[in-house]
Amino acid sequence: MTRFERLITLLFLLAPVILGGTAFFHYVEGWSWVDSYFFSVVTLSTVGYGSIVPVTTLGKIGTTIYIFLGLGIFAFVIQQIGQIAAEKRAAHTEWLITRLGHHKAGQEPQADNRDDRPSP
Protein backbone atom coordinates (compact mmCIF):
# COMPACT_ATOMS: atom_id res chain seq x y z
CA MET A 1 0.00 0.00 0.00
CA THR A 2 1.42 3.40 -0.96
CA ARG A 3 1.81 6.27 1.47
CA PHE A 4 -1.05 8.10 -0.21
CA GLU A 5 -3.34 5.09 0.12
CA ARG A 6 -2.39 4.73 3.78
CA LEU A 7 -3.18 8.39 4.44
CA ILE A 8 -6.55 8.09 2.72
CA THR A 9 -7.32 4.97 4.77
CA LEU A 10 -6.42 6.81 7.97
CA LEU A 11 -8.66 9.73 7.02
CA PHE A 12 -11.53 7.34 6.33
CA LEU A 13 -10.92 5.83 9.77
CA LEU A 14 -10.96 9.19 11.53
CA ALA A 15 -13.76 10.88 9.55
CA PRO A 16 -16.67 8.81 10.97
CA VAL A 17 -15.50 9.53 14.52
CA ILE A 18 -15.40 13.28 13.92
CA LEU A 19 -18.64 13.29 11.91
CA GLY A 20 -20.38 11.13 14.52
CA GLY A 21 -19.27 13.42 17.32
CA THR A 22 -20.31 16.48 15.34
CA ALA A 23 -23.80 15.10 14.72
CA PHE A 24 -24.15 13.95 18.33
CA PHE A 25 -23.28 17.32 19.80
CA HIS A 26 -25.38 19.18 17.24
CA TYR A 27 -28.52 17.25 18.12
CA VAL A 28 -27.98 16.62 21.83
CA GLU A 29 -26.55 19.99 22.85
CA GLY A 30 -28.24 22.05 20.15
CA TRP A 31 -24.97 23.61 19.01
CA SER A 32 -24.33 24.84 15.48
CA TRP A 33 -22.61 22.44 13.10
CA VAL A 34 -19.40 24.47 13.31
CA ASP A 35 -19.41 24.53 17.12
CA SER A 36 -20.15 20.80 17.22
CA TYR A 37 -17.33 20.06 14.79
CA PHE A 38 -14.96 22.34 16.72
CA PHE A 39 -15.79 20.65 20.02
CA SER A 40 -15.33 17.19 18.48
CA VAL A 41 -11.87 17.99 17.12
CA VAL A 42 -10.73 19.85 20.23
CA THR A 43 -11.91 16.99 22.42
CA LEU A 44 -10.25 14.27 20.32
CA SER A 45 -6.99 16.15 20.07
CA THR A 46 -6.99 16.61 23.87
CA VAL A 47 -6.58 20.37 23.48
CA GLY A 48 -9.79 21.11 25.40
CA TYR A 49 -10.11 24.89 25.19
CA GLY A 50 -13.17 24.85 27.47
CA SER A 51 -14.93 27.57 25.49
CA ILE A 52 -17.76 25.14 24.72
CA VAL A 53 -18.86 22.52 27.23
CA PRO A 54 -21.80 20.12 27.28
CA VAL A 55 -24.56 21.12 29.67
CA THR A 56 -27.02 18.25 29.31
CA THR A 57 -26.59 14.97 31.17
CA LEU A 58 -26.70 13.02 27.91
CA GLY A 59 -24.12 15.39 26.43
CA LYS A 60 -21.76 14.87 29.37
CA ILE A 61 -22.10 11.08 29.30
CA GLY A 62 -21.77 11.08 25.50
CA THR A 63 -18.62 13.19 25.77
CA THR A 64 -16.95 10.72 28.12
CA ILE A 65 -17.80 7.82 25.81
CA TYR A 66 -16.63 9.87 22.83
CA ILE A 67 -13.31 10.55 24.56
CA PHE A 68 -12.70 6.90 25.46
CA LEU A 69 -13.57 5.57 22.01
CA GLY A 70 -12.33 8.42 19.85
CA LEU A 71 -9.05 9.15 21.59
CA GLY A 72 -7.70 5.69 20.83
CA ILE A 73 -8.56 6.03 17.16
CA PHE A 74 -7.17 9.57 17.00
CA ALA A 75 -3.92 8.49 18.71
CA PHE A 76 -3.58 5.56 16.30
CA VAL A 77 -4.05 7.84 13.27
CA ILE A 78 -1.47 10.34 14.58
CA GLN A 79 1.00 7.50 15.28
CA GLN A 80 0.52 6.10 11.77
CA ILE A 81 1.06 9.51 10.19
CA GLY A 82 4.28 9.81 12.19
CA GLN A 83 5.35 6.37 11.00
CA ILE A 84 4.65 7.33 7.37
CA ALA A 85 6.76 10.48 7.81
CA ALA A 86 9.59 8.46 9.41
CA GLU A 87 9.51 5.90 6.58
CA LYS A 88 9.62 8.69 4.01
CA ARG A 89 12.59 10.27 5.76
CA ALA A 90 14.40 6.92 5.97
CA ALA A 91 13.79 6.28 2.27
CA HIS A 92 15.07 9.75 1.42
CA THR A 93 18.14 9.26 3.59
CA GLU A 94 18.83 5.91 1.92
CA TRP A 95 18.42 7.52 -1.51
CA LEU A 96 20.75 10.34 -0.51
CA ILE A 97 23.45 7.97 0.75
CA THR A 98 23.14 5.94 -2.44
CA ARG A 99 23.31 9.09 -4.54
CA LEU A 100 26.45 10.24 -2.77
CA GLY A 101 27.93 6.82 -3.46
CA HIS A 102 29.70 6.26 -0.16
CA HIS A 103 28.68 2.66 0.17
CA LYS A 104 28.99 1.83 -3.54
CA ALA A 105 32.33 3.42 -4.37
CA GLY A 106 33.79 0.07 -5.38
CA GLN A 107 30.89 -0.66 -7.72
CA GLU A 108 30.60 2.86 -9.06
CA PRO A 109 34.09 4.37 -9.45
CA GLN A 110 32.61 7.66 -10.69
CA ALA A 111 30.84 8.05 -7.35
CA ASP A 112 33.75 7.61 -4.95
CA ASN A 113 34.42 11.36 -4.68
CA ARG A 114 38.19 11.03 -5.08
CA ASP A 115 38.42 14.71 -5.87
CA ASP A 116 37.10 15.45 -2.36
CA ARG A 117 39.95 13.63 -0.61
CA PRO A 118 42.79 15.72 0.81
CA SER A 119 46.06 15.67 -1.09
CA PRO A 120 48.85 13.49 0.40
Kindly state whether residue 113 falls inside one of the protein's structural domains.
Answer: no
Kindly state whether residue 40 falls inside one of the protein's structural domains.
Answer: yes
Q: What percent of the chain has pLDDT over 70?
A: 83
Query: How many distinct structural domains can be found in the chain?
Result: 1
Q: Is the pLDDT of residue 99 over 90?
A: no
Task: Select the more confidently predicted residue: 93 or 116.
Answer: 93
Contact between 44 and 70 under an 8 Å Cβ cutoff? The reply is yes
Model-level pTM?
0.68
Kindly state whether residue 112 falls inside one of the protein's structural domains.
Answer: no
Q: Tell me the residue range of the domain where 90 lies.
A: 3-106
Instruction: Give tens-digit pLDDT for 19-62.
Output: 999 999 999 999 999 999 999 999 988 888 888 899 999 999 99
Residue 99: closest CA among 111, 117, 113, 87: 111
Q: Region 60-87: what's the mean pLDDT? A: 91
Contact between 40 and 22 under an 8 Å Cβ cutoff? The reply is yes
> What's the CATH number where 38 sits?
1.10.287.70
Q: What angle do CA 16, 18, 23 make, to 5 degrees?
A: 90
